[in-house]
Structure 1
Amino acid sequence: MPLSQIAFIEDLVNTNTLEELWAKHVAKMQTYGFDRALYGYTMFRAGDNLGDPEDFVILSNHDRTYLDEFFAKRMFMHAPMVKWALENEGTVSWSMMEQAYRQGDYSREELEVVEFNRVWGISVGYSVSFKSLSPRSKAGIGLVGKPGTSQSEVDAIWDAYGKEITLLNNVFHLKVLQLPYSYPNRALTHRQREVLEWVSDGKTTQDIAMLINRTTATVEKHLRLARESLGVQTTAQAVSKATFQNQIFRYEV
């Protein structure tokens, strides 16, 4: 591997925020001819149910209007490449999608997504579905070819650099798993993280009150707000979910 690529991977590994990591990754993918990307990750999958969309890790440089409609109307549930990613691991050319379209293999819902994407210039590209160690989690990324690029040109890029691009995307994904993600309306405050950490260590409400020099009522308030922020009913669920989301037991950066 060229030294420049090794230096880039080292830079990704040493990145401390998700925003910075995403910016670097998008810029790198653009050097290969992919100007837009959509990365998605769920840790709460149950069969065909991907969990609450508010719990998804979504990173993208697509137009905000496109993303709002794509997720508000739950189009992702019928997106052909998303469905492929859920059922497979590895990489796939979007030529597969075009072939299925021409053969009339898509349902009405799938066709609506395909046509919607075409309006936004999203029809040429490649997808990467990452290996999952748990049936509860799944992640993938869709890389969109630059405007004016044909699928055959994108396939030629992949023939030349596909292994390299796949490796970089896997390094990116593994780094995402290490970093905290600010879930909309679900980011914990410093104090909420602290009390959940103490709970996970087996401390009682009274113990925590003494440790942080606050009343038990204040500790209960922080725990209640943490449960509300995470959208769960019990403190045990809050600890579990906050751990999955890398919101507790993490260094401040």
Structure 2
Amino acid sequence: MIETSELNDFLHAPEIEELWDMHQRRMAGYGFDRIMYGATRYRSGQSLGDSDDFVILTNHSTDYTDVFVGEGLYHHAPMVRWALDHDGACSWSVLREMAESGTLSRQERKVLEFNLSNGVRAGYSISFLSVSPRTKGAIALTAEEGMRQHEVDAMWKEHGDDILLLNNIAHLRILSLPYTSPARTLTTRQREVLGWVGDGKTVQDIALLLGLTAATVEKHLRLAREALCVETTAQAVLKASFQNQIFMMEA
């Protein structure tokens, strides 16, 4: 049973690191000792967008993530494919069904073999409800080594509703907290000028408000566009707001 105090801890975590630490420990309590969360706001057609813009959180070893994420193996992972087309929770028992039906491609079988070699055998995937066609978030919950899928399914039958609730709360909280790669983190001044642009101010307005020259404001906007890898200031405002780098209270 989930305690009210636990939900409050999730809802009031001030930063992703603290929230993720709590979530790891809670999922481990159910037998999921390795978890991987991923989200994008830049999905387009068959593309998930630039991987540098993904939110990826995991406690898998670097030996695993360097290949699964770093070498792009996730592109061909059957459960990632499932998550892109569905919402809700899914037992990994479907992988056996896919393998037995002969519907897996050579690349998908390669992913399964890699997972098995790394002790990723039993678990559940949760695909979160998307708020737009361009967004998608999911989490893979890997059971402890030695735990069989039928044991995971039995545990899920008893605690699945609570696990689903905790993961949905964690997902919504992650989306509300700042997260970006170091290379795309804006400076305080860049966030400030983008925030004013988002409020409808012109370059001249911003210069007057901040006591800067128009040329200096333009420079900060240019550097913000470069940091976010976008072409226009409007795109920079949108991307920075998606990443919660602007329009938020300072700590």
Q: Provide the secondary structure at the position in 1 that maps to 2:36.
A: strand
**1:53 equivalenced with 2:85 (yes/no):** no
Mapped partners of 2:8, 2:64: distance in 1? 33
Shift of 1:252: 1.9
Instruction: State how far apart, in whole Å, the 2-side matches of 1:184 and 1:118 are.
Output: 32
Shift of 1:244: 1.4
Partner of residue 7 from structure 1, selected from 5, 17, 21: 5
1:100 and 2:98 aligned: yes
Q: Distance in 1 between matches of 2:86 and 2:182?
A: 29
Partner of 1:40: 38
Work out which of the residue numbers 207, 226, 229 in structure 2 matches 1:228. 226
Distance 1:68 1:189 in 2: 29
Distance 2:223 2:68 in 1: 30
Match of 1:251 in 2: 249
* Matching residue within 160, 164, 167 for 2:165: 167
SS in 1 for 2:250: coil
Matched AA of 1:117: N
Aligned equivalents of 2:13 and 2:105: distance in 1?
A: 42
- Pairing of 1:62-81 with structure 2 (within 5 A): 62-81=60-79
Distance 1:202 1:188 in 2: 20
Equivalent of 1:198 in 196, 211, 217 = 196
Deviates more, 1:199-208 or 1:31-40: 199-208
The question of whether the paired residues in 2 share the 8 Å contact of 1:76 and 1:82 is answered with: yes
Structure 2-normalised TM-score?
A: 0.96
Letter in 1 for 2:123: G
| Secondary structure, counterpart of 1:37 in structure 2 | strand
Equivalent pair of 1:89/1:130 in contact (CA under 8 Å): yes
Which segment drifts farther, 33-42 or 4-13?
Answer: 4-13
The letter of the residue matching 1:87 is D
Alpha-carbon separation, structure 1, partners of 2:223 and 2:16: 25
**Residue type of the alignment partner of 1:237:** Q
Deviation at 1:231, TM superposition (A): 0.6
How many residue pairs end up in the alignment? 251
SS of residue paired to 2:66: helix
67-76 or 116-125: bigger deviation: 67-76
Structure 1 unmatched ranges of 5 or more: none
User: Paired residue for 1:145?
Assistant: 143
What is the aligned partner in structure 2 of residue 117 from structure 1?
115
Q: Which moved more, 1:213-222 or 1:226-235?
A: 213-222
> What's the secondary structure of 2:89's corresponding residue?
strand
Aligned partners of 2:77 and 2:193: how far apart in 1?
Answer: 40
For residues 25-72 of structure 1, the C-alpha deviation after alignment (integer angstroms, 9 at most, x for no partner) is 011000000001010101011121111111111111111232122223
Unaligned 5+ residue runs, structure 2? none
Give CA deviations for 1:87-129 in whole Å, capped at 9, x if unaligned.
0011110011122123332101101111111111112100111
C-alpha distance in structure 2 between counterparts of 1:251 and 1:119, whole Å: 45
Do the aligned residues in 2 keep the contact of 1:42 with 1:51 (CA within 8 Å)? yes
RMSD: 1.2
Aligned residue in 2 for 1:240 = 238
1:90 counterpart residue number: 88
Could you tell me whether the CA contact under 8 Å between 1:93 and 1:127 is conserved in 2?
A: yes
Equivalent residue number for residue 18 of structure 2: 20
Preserved contact between residue 53 and residue 180 of structure 2 (Cα < 8 Å)? no
d(CA) in 2 for partners of 1:98, 1:189? 48
Deviation at 1:5, TM superposition (A): 2.1
The alignment partner of 2:164 has SS state of helix
Q: CA deviation at 1:234?
A: 0.8
What letter matches 2:70 in structure 1? A
Deviation, 1:176, is 1.2
Give the whole-Å Cα distance in 1 for the aligned partners of 2:180 and 2:156. Answer: 33
